[in-house]
């Protein structure tokens, strides 16, 4: 189920980046970073499906990822709604209201980014880099995550 939510959000983000780039110019970097993080989460969720049935810490991690994905989805939905409302307003109103709303969206995306960093960074709970989530079969894969701590959501 979390996989489907991530996939749905990724599709929405891709459409936003392709068809509405002019609406997100101030928040484009944050949206692209969020998309990148979600792709990593999607790969992790897909690869960890079998192992999470047995591993409580993995189930908790999946729950946290799912919560962040749903929160990001709400933010993007709010942004798209605001962008649509902005199009219907006069130029004068858009000139003053749109930058404030975009700043609010960028702030919300930044807040989600902090949660993503927390999920990546909590090394006491789980070590992403050494987590082998394969099932031991011939298609076993090891998921390796690169910490986004050097990235900025500003």
Res. 152: pLDDT tops 50: no
For the chain, what are the domain ranges?
Answer: 2-150
Res. 127: pLDDT tops 70: no
Task: Give the C-alpha separation, 95 to 41, whole Å.
Answer: 37
Residues contacting 134, CB < 8 A, separation 6+: 47, 51, 140, 141, 142
* Whole-number pLDDT of residue 135: 46
* Whole-number pLDDT of residue 14: 80
* Whole-number pLDDT of residue 40: 82
> Residues 33, 148: contact at Cβ < 8 Å?
yes
Token pair 């709303």: residue: 101
* Whole-number pLDDT of residue 154: 34
Name which of 150, 153, 62 is nearest 108 in CA terms. 153
* Whole-number pLDDT of residue 97: 54
> Which ranges of 20-90 would DSSP assign to H, the alpha helix?
28-47, 56-88
* Whole-number pLDDT of residue 142: 41
């Amino acid at each position: 189920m979390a996989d489907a939510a991530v996939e749905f959000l990724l599709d929405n983000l891709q459409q936003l980046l392709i068809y509405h780039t002019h609406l997100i110019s101030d928040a484009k970097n944050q949206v692209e970073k969020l998309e990148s993080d979600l792709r990593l989460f999607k790969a992790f969720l897909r690869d960890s499906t079998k192992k999470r049935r047995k591993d409580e810490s993995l189930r908790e991690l999946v729950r946290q990822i799912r919560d962040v994905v749903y929160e990001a989805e709400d933010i993007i939905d709010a942004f798209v709604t605001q962008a649509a409302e902005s199009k219907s307003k006069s130029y004068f109103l858009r000139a003053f209201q749109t930058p404030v709303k975009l700043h609010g969206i960028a702030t919300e995306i930044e807040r989600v980014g902090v949660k993503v960093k927390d999920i990546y960074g909590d090394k006491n709970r789980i070590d992403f880099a050494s987590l082998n989530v394969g099932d031991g079969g011939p298609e076993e894969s090891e998921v390796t995550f690169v910490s986004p701590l050097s990235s900025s959501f500003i």
